[in-house]
Structure 1
Amino acid sequence: MKKIALLLLGITSQIIFAQANRFVYQVTMKTDSTDRGNTKTELANLDVSAGSSIFYSENRLKRDSIMGRMRQTGSFNFDRTQMQALRSNMDFIIEKDYKTGKKIYKAGILRDQYAYEEDRLMDWKILPETATIGEYKTQKAETQFAGRTWYAWFAAEVPLQDGPYKFSGLPGLIVKVEDAKGDYSFDLKEAKKIDAVASFNQRGSTITVKRAAFKKQQDQFRKDPAAAMSGGRGGFRIQMDPNQRKQMEERQKEETKKNNNPIELK
Structure 2
Amino acid sequence: MIYLKFALFFFPIILLSQETTFPKDFKMRSSAFLVKNYDESILNVYYIFNSIDKSNLKGKSVESVCILQIGKNFSKFSDTSRLRLDSLMTKYSRQDNIGSVEINDLLRYKILWSGVSLKDFKEKKVTHQNTVAGKIYQYDEGVPEQIWQLKNEVKIVLGYKCNKAILKYRGRIYTAWYAREISINNGPYIFQGLPGLILEIQDQDNYVHFTAKGIDRKLMDIYLENNQSILNVNREKYREIRKNYFDNPSAFIYGTAYNQDGTPIISKPIHTSVYNPLELE
Please say whether Structure 1 and Structure 2 have the same fold, judged by a TM-score greater than 0.5.
yes
Corresponding letter in the other structure for 1:96: K
Q: Which residue of 1 aligns with 2:120?
A: 97
Q: Which moved more, 1:158-167 or 1:121-130?
A: 121-130
Unaligned 5+ residue runs, structure 2? 1-38, 257-266
CA deviation vs aligned residue, 1:19-46 (integer Å, no higher than 9, x gap): 622111110011247966x310000010
Say whether the 8 Å CA contact 1:52–1:95 is kept in structure 2: yes
Match of 1:52 in 2: 74
Instruction: Give yes or no for the alignment of 1:26 onto 2:48.
Output: yes
Which residue matches 1:6? none
Answer yes or no: is the 8 Å Cα contact 1:31–1:262 preserved in 2: no
State how many pairs are aligned: 231
Bigger fraction of residues in strand: 2
Whether contact under 8 Å (2:41, 2:221) holds in the other structure is no
Identify the residue that residue 91 of structure 2 maps to in structure 1: 69
Flag the 1:67–1:225 CA change in 2: closer, same or farther, 3 A. farther
Q: Specify which of 203, 218, 224 is matched with residue 227 of structure 2.
A: 203
Is residue 257 of structure 1 aligned with residue 280 of structure 2? no
> Which of 166, 169, 192 is equivalent to 2:190?
166
Q: Distance in 1 between matches of 2:217 and 2:243?
A: 39
Amino acid at match of 2:127: I
Deviates more, 1:85-94 or 1:146-155: 85-94
In the alignment, is the contact (CA less than 8 A) between 2:147 and 2:167 conserved in 1?
yes
Q: Tell me how large the CA RMSD over aligned residues is.
A: 2.8
2:97 counterpart SS class:
coil
Higher mean C-alpha displacement, 91-100 vs 219-228: 219-228
Q: How far apart are the structure 2 equivalents of 1:18 and 1:35?
A: 38
- Segment of structure 1 superposing worse, 177-186 or 157-166: 177-186
Does the aligned pair in 2 maintain the 1:49–1:197 contact within 8 Å?
A: no
> Which residue of 36, 39, 42 maps to 2:61?
39
- One-letter code aligned to 2:208: Y
Cα deviation 1:140-186 (Å, max 9, x = unaligned): 00111121100000001111100001101111100100111222210
The structure-2 alpha-carbon separation of the partners of 1:26 and 1:19, relative to structure 1 and needing over 3 Å to count, comes to: closer
SS of residue matched to 1:43: strand
Residues 84 and 260 of structure 1, relative CA distance in 2, 3 Å threshold: farther
Runs of 4+ in structure 1 off by over 6 angstroms are: none
Deviations 1:191-220 (A, max 9, x none): 111222343544325333221101111222
Structure 1 unaligned runs (5+)?
Answer: 1-16, 233-248
Matched, 1:177 2:201: yes
* Secondary structure of the corresponding residue to residue 76 of structure 1: strand
Inter-CA distance 77–206: structure 2 relative to 1 (3 Å threshold): same
TM-score, structure 1 normalization: 0.76
Whole-Å separation in 2 of the counterparts to 1:258 and 1:42: 21
SS of the residue corresponding to residue 95 of structure 1 reads: strand
Identical-residue share of aligned pairs (%)? 23
Deviations 1:109-140 (CA, angstroms, capped at 9, x unpaired): 34533222245421111111111223101100
Is the CA contact (8 Å cut-off) linking 2:76 and 2:116 kept in structure 1?
yes
The question of whether the paired residues in 1 share the 8 Å contact of 2:157 and 2:212 is answered with no
User: Counterparts of 1:47 and 1:204 in 2: how far apart (Å)?
Assistant: 25
- Letter aligned with residue 130 of structure 1: V
Matches of 1:35 and 1:109, distance apart in 2: 19
Q: Which residue of 2 aligns with 1:136?
A: 160
* Structure 1 or 2: more helix by fraction: 1
| Aligned amino acid, residue 88 of structure 1 | I
Q: Which moved more, 1:131-140 or 1:49-58?
A: 131-140
